[in-house]
Structure 1
Amino acid sequence: MRYVTRTSALEYEDFNSARYRLIERAEKFGEISYKARRIIAMLSQDFIFDGCTILVHGFSRVVLEVLKTAAENKKHFRVFCTEGRPDRTGLRLSNELAKLDVPVKLLIDSAVAYTMDEVDMVLVGADGVVESGGIINMMGTYQIALVSHSMNKPVYVAAESYKFARLYPLDQKDMGPALRTIDFGVPIPSKVEVEKSARDYTPPQYLTLLFTDLDGAPYGLGPYAVSESVVF
């Protein structure tokens, strides 16, 4: 939104001119976003090897592009998709992977630790990459990273550089509200409190490498190097 609306046309030109400028900048941002995904997909290919099993969480366009590129390069791998409750984004990603003839298994979210011994790496996207080198992403990313770390499995993050932000969350409650409606499928008594947070924060010590489109990161960026790369 910041990129699209950063134009003087909104204040100094007529409505039609302003509308045209917004559409033009939105289309340009779409091009920037697609180019970034392609760069990240190419950079990450050396880390996907034949016979590997990749655990993914949530629906990420850039993660899908990474896996799609690997499939187009005739690499043989399989993917474990978490269901991603309550949005069930894993169902969407698993459907896209099935279209690519990638072997995919759908997991309930609570089966991550149970299946981690079969996993070679974790690959997630990010809603935001913060100055500490940690990421803000779909709820459940943090606990997956904790399980991965305890079992010595690498956690790779694929994120476009425009998601880098000068934020420095101190804990899970230091990010501001990101809430969603949750349907449990059964009536919930009014006295029962429901956690509605949609995002969590994964600290950098639980992340292995960040794949991004910055020129200075040809083989990925270490989480602790993010603070030097954050765009104002």
Structure 2
Amino acid sequence: MFVRYVRRGGVADDQPAQFPALKRRLVGRATRFGDICRGARGAIATLCQDFLLDGCTVLVHGHSPPVLDALRLAATRGKRLLVLCTEGRPDGAGLRLAGELAAAGVPARVLLDSAVAYSMGQVDVVLVGADLVAETGGVVGGVGTYQVALVARAMGKPVYVAAESYKFARLYPLGQKDIEQGGGRDVDFGDVPVPAGVDVEAPARDYTQSKYLELLITDLGVLQPAAVSDVLLHL
């Protein structure tokens, strides 16, 4: 996202003498991007407060800065929340988030990824971030987001996505295989080694269709997933 923003409008220049000016332009864009990120996260955190009620239990998946900011803000406003953080294997994203929440005085528990359905009954809302918001209104997020949304829908729990508007993109994923995964990831299974001749499938991201999402909470406001295509016309 950072590179896409910094390169917006073109950066190519055939005249070497123009390099200093080009460098200044790129540095300026990078600085503005940082300001935009901070402003977007602040706006999202504020809007999330309408959905984080005092005494509620929130299930979160992954390590999302907007989600973290929203939960911290709720705590500073005196809201008593219990946050269930899925562990987020294999990189332990949920463990890191739980640690940051605890440091901010927000009660947090780490939940096994395999125990999402088991614990969903005590959850009031699901709050997740996104790596990308597709024109379809669906989101690409850390792997496991899709299954969390499926369980939430089956049990009648709302799923809210906290995402910055610069993550909106003109993409139409048709399924999980359309998601770019990047390089392979190492998975630590502890004392149990992977048997010889057995491969490990460890995708980094998955795609959640808009029909499983209640609302998108963005710096542009609270949106229905179906509104993303219209918003993209003006970005």
TM-score by length of 2: 0.91
1:44 is paired with a residue whose SS is helix
1:44-91: CA deviation from partner (whole Å, max 9, x where unpaired): 111111110000001000101111111111111110001100010111
Counterpart-to-counterpart distance in 2, 1:106 and 1:38 = 25
One-letter amino acid of the structure 2 residue matched with residue 6 of structure 1: R
Counterpart-to-counterpart distance in 2, 1:189 and 1:21 = 53
Q: 2:213 aligns with which of 207, 213, 221?
A: 207
Equivalent runs, 1:192-203 vs 2, <5 Å: 192-203=198-209
Q: Which runs of 5+ in 2 are unaligned?
A: none
Provide the residue aligned with 1:29 in structure 2: 33
Q: Indicate if the aligned counterparts of 1:55 and 1:81 stay in contact, CA closer than 8 A.
A: yes
Q: 2:23 aligns with which of 15, 19, 22?
A: 19
Provide the residue aligned with 2:125 in structure 1: 121
Counterpart-to-counterpart distance in 2, 1:71 and 1:147 = 27
Q: Indicate if the aligned counterparts of 1:132 and 1:224 stay in contact, CA closer than 8 A.
A: yes
Question: By how many angstroms is 1:196 displaced?
Answer: 2.8
Q: Indicate if the aligned counterparts of 1:9 and 1:17 stay in contact, CA closer than 8 A.
A: no
RMSD (CA atoms): 1.7
Equivalent runs, 1:85-164 vs 2, <5 Å: 85-164=89-168
Q: Indicate if the aligned counterparts of 1:178 and 1:199 stay in contact, CA closer than 8 A.
A: no
Counterpart-to-counterpart distance in 2, 1:206 and 1:169 = 15
Aligned residues: 228
2:115 is paired with a residue whose SS is helix
One-letter amino acid of the structure 2 residue matched with residue 223 of structure 1: P
Provide the residue aligned with 2:62 in structure 1: 58
Most deviating of 122-131 and 168-177: 168-177
Most deviating of 16-25 and 152-161: 16-25
Identity of aligned residues (%): 55
**CA distance 1:175–1:183, change in 2 (3 Å):** closer
Q: Which runs of 5+ in 1 are unaligned?
A: none
Question: By how many angstroms is 1:228 displaced?
Answer: 1.1
**CA distance 1:113–1:179, change in 2 (3 Å):** farther
Counterpart-to-counterpart distance in 1, 2:125 and 2:184 = 29
1:198-224: CA deviation from partner (whole Å, max 9, x where unpaired): 10000011100110111xx3xx11111
One-letter amino acid of the structure 2 residue matched with residue 35 of structure 1: G
1:173 is paired with a residue whose SS is helix
Most deviating of 146-155 and 10-19: 10-19
Provide the residue aligned with 1:4 in structure 2: 6
Q: Indicate if the aligned counterparts of 1:179 and 1:197 stay in contact, CA closer than 8 A.
A: no
Q: Indicate if the aligned counterparts of 1:131 and 1:166 stay in contact, CA closer than 8 A.
A: yes
1:157 is paired with a residue whose SS is strand
1:123-160: CA deviation from partner (whole Å, max 9, x where unpaired): 00000000111100000000000000000000000000
One-letter amino acid of the structure 2 residue matched with residue 224 of structure 1: A
